[in-house]
Amino acid sequence: MSGNESRAKAPTAHSTTSREDAHAPVEKIDFDDYSADYDALLRESTKLYADDSEYFARYKVDLIRNAIRRPIARVLEYGCGTGRNIAYLQAAFPDAEIVGTDVSAASLRVAAEANPRALFEVEREGLDLGAFDIIFVASVFHHIPPVERPAVMATLAGRLAHGGSIDIFEHNPFNPVTRRIVSSCPFDADAVLLKPAELRALFRGAGLDLQRQSYCLFVPPKLSWLLPLEKHLGWLPLGGQYWVSAGQAR
Ligand SMILES: C[S@@+](CC[C@H](N)C(=O)[O-])C[C@H]1O[C@@H](n2cnc3c(N)ncnc32)[C@H](O)[C@@H]1O
């Protein structure tokens, strides 16, 4: 990891829109505090759905790998945390440079140790990493206070290479199982879930065109024989998560 690792630690209070008490201010989670036991907590909170928490990383990267046909030279995972998706991105795009960023320096240290071939940088204002063909963002936006989301999306849009895409996976607030998992997970205590319409509006606000919207993660891995059905269900707002993708407006 290189660059300035310091960052503001002050908690951000913001109001929520999808939590039980929609008016209570929430302290922003500092993922430095979870870098050592992130995997264990994720496994514990998702065990009803999947025994193997690696499943989620594999699943999402497979989705984008199968959908993206253009040549890919550079991939950014924004909010990569402890780097759970990085090895899968590396395997899916073996010729690409893979870069991971996050506001949590402690999480990036874990990511860098496990992924010595990837580059990791602490997110900070003015960070210039050049342009990327894919910007992959998984389970990050619900941790960003709503008022800060347009600026983050503008930053991502500014890092997009010509013809590139921003691919965002988010928890589906319409799915009661997802909401239950989120409410029981300690590092989701600041989560303000977003509907796809909010991400579409953020794309529009950053001058990007929507390329795809699809619900996903319908079938738990133990029912893997039903997985082929999923590609017909993208329209159905019952998946555990959803995937939206956008690129520069033509
Ligand atoms: C639930 S974790 C997801 C980590 C990883 N994307 C994954 O799928 O395993 C959310 C991550 O978003 C990071 N994060 C929160 N706000 C952020 C921001 N404004 N910019 C970049 N990363 C942020 C957190 O530090 C944390 O590592």
Which protein residues are within 6 Å of ligand 1, measured from CB? 31, 78-81, 84-85, 102-104, 107, 123, 138-140, 143-144, 152
Q: What is the DSSP letter of 18?
A: S
User: How many whole angstroms separate alpha carbon 153 and alpha carbon 36?
Assistant: 28
pLDDT in tens, 77-112: 999 999 999 999 999 999 999 999 999 999 999 999
pLDDT in tens, 119-159: 999 999 999 999 999 999 999 999 999 999 999 999 999 99
CA 144 / ligand 1 centre spacing (Å): 9
pLDDT in tens, 160-211: 999 999 999 999 999 999 999 999 899 999 999 999 999 999 999 999 999 9
Least confident span in 1-10, 42-51, 128-137: 1-10
CA 125 / ligand 1 centre spacing (Å): 16
Q: Which atom of ligand 1 is nearest to the CA of 169?
A: 8
Query: Is the separation of the CB atoms in 45 and 191 below 8 Å?
Result: no
Query: Which pTM does this prediction carry?
Result: 0.90
User: How many whole angstroms separate alpha carbon 180 and alpha carbon 45?
Assistant: 9
* CATH topology classification for 29-74+133-248: Rossmann fold (3.40.50)
CA 225 / ligand 1 centre spacing (Å): 32
Q: Between the CA of residue 138 and those of 24, 86, 102, 171, 186, what are the distances in Å? A: 25, 11, 12, 9, 18
